[in-house]
């Protein structure tokens, strides 16, 4: 377990009851307390436990143990916000997680029983989207798409100021088909955005084209430095992403598209050509503002905290749960 220095309070969380925020990732579980003044305390990181016989049960047990440790050290909280990956329906059931291996696990119910507190369960990408909308780069927007570009690609949607979840199934931008004759995707479809433009796809495509095995950030750096192979791979990823965002724009006309996740660390190397590519694909109608995510890798933890606060405040925007 390790600790980051305390994160400065972000505007907008506001005062309220203290809550526990938990963000479950593939390798680590981040845990932090949001205090009464809206300040997020130090984020503790625990290795995500694995047990093929009970993949979600061991995660809930690890969270309960982390919460008990915090309580023993004097922390007090009235609810828990829990962000989990995979597909999460609106009742807080982890429908499945390819990476962590669970299927149809009732997180809200089991976590509430293990922790003895009300629990708001939210999908990790939607948690990050919620945080960017309340506190970050989509603040004040009525309609927004917050896109996470990492190993996979997914989006959180805000429509009329509220998260839109499609019962838990909306936002699968990574599996929208952007090139019917494109590469096959891990999901079984052909030409998904994720198979062309995710960090994983960029690494694999660069290597398959004859480049060395380097990470996605390095492919982007090489593209910037003029490596023709890297430029081709990166530009095709940008164009596929612009194509996907053009569909989102045609359908939902968001005011702003916020780009987060590992690939967004590329900054202007992503934003500038993406804006240009999107403009070429949208000759009429509005074009959304493209912004880089403001909360970085802590967005999911902030979102979990906000979901817990919302639960106590009786807002049912994102998650519902009862002890
Ligand atoms: Zn797919």
Q: Say if residue 320's pLDDT is above 50.
A: no
Residue 16 covered by a domain: yes
Give the model's pLDDT for residue 13: 73
Report how far ligand 1's centroid is from the alpha carbon of 153 (Å). 10
Q: What are phi and psi of 139, to 5 degrees?
A: -60, 130
Exposure b/e, 156-179, CB count within 10 A at least 16 = b: bbbeeeebbbeebebbbbbbbbbb
* Domain identity same for 111 and 175: no
| Beta carbons of 91 and 99 less than 8 angstroms apart | no
Give the model's pLDDT for residue 317: 55
| CATH code of the domain containing 206 | 3.30.420.40
Report how far ligand 1's centroid is from the alpha carbon of 190 (Å). 7
Report how far ligand 1's centroid is from the alpha carbon of 186 (Å). 6
* Domain identity same for 112 and 198: no
**Mean pLDDT of all residues belonging to the chain:** 93
Report how far ligand 1's centroid is from the alpha carbon of 123 (Å). 18
Give the model's pLDDT for residue 166: 95
* Domain identity same for 254 and 200: yes
| CA distance linking residue 309 with residue 46, whole number of Å | 23
Residue 108 covered by a domain: yes
Q: Domain containing 285: what range?
A: 139-293
Report how far ligand 1's centroid is from the alpha carbon of 109 (Å). 30
The number of domains in the chain is 2
Residue 264 covered by a domain: yes
Residue 322 covered by a domain: no
* Domain identity same for 152 and 78: no
* Domain identity same for 99 and 11: yes
* Domain identity same for 254 and 285: yes
Q: Which pLDDT tens digit goes with each residue over 85-129?
A: 999 999 999 999 988 999 999 999 999 999 999 999 999 999 999
* Domain identity same for 156 and 282: yes
Report how far ligand 1's centroid is from the alpha carbon of 231 (Å). 24
* Domain identity same for 162 and 245: yes
Q: Which pLDDT tens digit goes with each residue over 162-190?
A: 999 999 999 999 999 999 999 999 999 99
Q: Which pLDDT tens digit goes with each residue over 273-292?
A: 999 999 999 888 889 999 99
* Domain identity same for 62 and 152: no
Residue 323 covered by a domain: no
Number of other residues whose CB lies within 10 A of the CB of residue 83: 32
* Domain identity same for 39 and 102: yes
What HEC string does the chain produce? CEECCCCCCCCCCCCCCCEEEEEECCCEEEEEEECCCCCECCCEEEECCCCCCCHHHHHHHHHHHHHHHHHHCCCCCCCEEEEECCEECCCCEEEECCCCCCEEEEHHHHHHHHHCCCEEEEEHHHHHHHHHHHHCCCCCCCCEEEEEECCCEEEEEEECCEEECHHHCCCCHHHCECCCCCCECCCCCECECHHHHCHHHHHHHHHHCCCCCCCHHHHHHHHHCCCHHHHHHHHHHHHHHHHHHHHHHHHHCCCEEEEECHHHHHCHHHHHHHHHHHHHHCCCCCCCEEEECCCHHHHHHHHHHHHHHHHHHCCCCCCCCCC
Read off the pLDDT of each residue in 7-14 and give the average, rounded to a whole number.
Answer: 56
Residue 321 covered by a domain: no
Give the model's pLDDT for residue 81: 98
Q: Say if residue 34's pLDDT is above 50.
A: yes
Q: How confident is the model at residue 12 (pLDDT cuts 50, 70, 90)?
A: low
Read off the pLDDT of each residue in 2-11 and give the average, rounded to a whole number.
Answer: 47
Number of other residues whose CB lies within 10 A of the CB of residue 118: 20
Report how far ligand 1's centroid is from the alpha carbon of 265 (Å). 23
Report how far ligand 1's centroid is from the alpha carbon of 146 (Å). 19
Report how far ligand 1's centroid is from the alpha carbon of 253 (Å). 23
Prediction pTM value: 0.91
Read off the pLDDT of each residue in 233-239 and give the average, rounded to a whole number.
Answer: 98
Report how far ligand 1's centroid is from the alpha carbon of 193 (Å). 7
């Amino acid at each position: 377990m390790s600790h980051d220095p305390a994160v400065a309070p972000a505007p907008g969380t506001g005062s309220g009851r203290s809550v526990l925020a938990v963000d479950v990732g593939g390798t680590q579980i981040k845990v932090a307390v949001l205090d009464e003044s809206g300040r997020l305390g130090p984020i503790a990181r625990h290795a995500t436990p694995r047990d093929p016989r009970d993949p979600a049960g061991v995660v809930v047990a690890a969270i309960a143990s982390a919460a008990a440790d915090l309580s023993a050290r004097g922390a007090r909280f009235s609810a828990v916000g829990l962000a989990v990956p995979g597909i999460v329906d609106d009742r807080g059931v982890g429908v499945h997680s390819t990476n962590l291996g669970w299927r149809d696990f009732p997180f809200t119910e089991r976590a509430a029983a293990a922790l003895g507190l009300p629990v708001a369960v939210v999908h990790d990408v939607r948690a990050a989207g919620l945080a960017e909308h309340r506190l970050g780069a989509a603040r004040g927007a009525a309609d927004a798409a917050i896109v996470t570009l990492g190993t996979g690609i997914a989006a959180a949607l805000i429509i009329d100021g509220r998260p839109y979840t499609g019962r838990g199934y909306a936002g699968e931008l990574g599996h929208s088909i952007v090139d019917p004759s494109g590469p096959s995707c891990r999901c079984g479809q052909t030409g998904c955005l994720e198979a062309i433009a995710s960090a994983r796809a960029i690494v694999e495509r660069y290597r398959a084209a004859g480049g060395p095995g380097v990470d996605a950030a390095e492919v982007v750096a090489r593209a910037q430095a003029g490596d023709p192979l890297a430029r081709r791979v990166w530009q095709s990823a940008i164009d596929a992403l612009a194509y996907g965002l053009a569909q989102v724009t045609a359908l939902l006309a968001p005011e702003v598209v916020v780009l987060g996740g590992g690939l967004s660390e590329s900054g202007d190397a992503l934003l500038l050509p993406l804006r240009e590519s999107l403009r070429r694909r949208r000759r009429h109608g509005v074009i959304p503002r493209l912004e880089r995510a403001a909360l970085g890798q802590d967005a999911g933890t902030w979102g979990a905290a906000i979901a817990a606060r919302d639960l106590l405040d009786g807002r049912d925007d994102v998650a519902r749960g009862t002890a």
